[in-house]
Chain A
Amino acid sequence: EAQVTQNPRYLITVTGKKLTVTCSQNMNHEYMSWYRQDPGLGLRQIYYSMNVEVTDKGDVPEGYKVSRKEKRNFPLILESPSPNQTSLYFCASSPTSLAGTDTQYFGPGTRLTVL
């Protein structure tokens, strides 16, 4: 089954304790992205990657890091989480085309609470 998986689905942590949220896709997509969803704000892009070893900032990258060492994986790293990073996080992937309008496939989400 074609899918995007994220782990963990739920996480409660404390300020300053480094954490990683994993994202994996089995569709051989070049493009992957991270979004955060906050009430009343919709989803906002954190980072994206066009392919292996190619990453770039989205709208809200502060406090986050990413890496793309393999095509299928795109982990999101919070080196020193703070309470304002409490949110619902989604990973997404899509094939790439010149048009850039390909459907993005979303993971099930990771609900993070930073105390």
Chain B
Amino acid sequence: GDSVTQMEGPVTLSEEAFLTINCTYTATGYPSLFWYVQYPGEGLQLLLKATKADDKGSNKGFEATYRKETTSFHLEKGSVQVSDSAVYFCALIPISSGSARQLTFGSGTQLTVLP
């Protein structure tokens, strides 16, 4: 079945460091890909998305490019801030999801940014 694998956490960085969180997927056809962020004590918020190959999603300085050839959607940010500390989830909606619109999530990566 469809699945998402993202890098194990936790990840701890110093402020202004470069961030990469790896995400690869297994799915039939061309799923839509998402990054959601969960700040402490809150629900998930969409960070960015891409719906077709070579699309780049971007928001709040974060970027991810839909790479069909490597089935990847890695999240990057050039300079992280303390306020970026959160759990990041990679997710997909498979083509076969139909009316279910079922988001398939990775296990999440905890990011802590130190001042």
Contact = CB atoms under 8 A, between A and B. Distances in A.
Interface of A: 4, 31, 33, 35, 40-45, 48, 50, 56, 58-59, 90, 92, 94, 96, 99-109
Contacts, number: 66
Nearest to A6: B43
Interface in B65-115: 89, 91, 93, 97-103, 105-108
Contact of B44 (A48, A58, A101, A106): A106
A45 B44 contact: no
Contacts of A44: 105
B46 interface: yes
Interface footprint category on B: 20 to 34
Nearest to B36: A106
Contacts of A31: 101
Enumerate the 8 nearest inter-chain pairs by beta-carbon distance, A residue then B residue, closest first: A42-B105, A106-B43, A101-B32, A106-B44, A43-B105, A108-B43, A42-B107, A103-B46
Interface SS of chain B: helix, strand, loop or mixed?
mixed
Interface in B1-49: 4, 32, 36, 41-46, 49
Contact of B102 (A42, A58, A102, A105): A58
Contact of A109 (B43, B51, B107): B43
Contact of A45 (B89, B100, B108): B100
A100 B99 contact: yes
A94 B102 contact: no
A48 B101 contact: yes
A61 to B, nearest CB: 12
Contacts of A96: 101
B43 A48 contact: no
Interface in B47-67: 49, 51
Greatest chain B CB density within 10 A among A33, A42, A103, A109 is at A42
Contacts of B98: 100
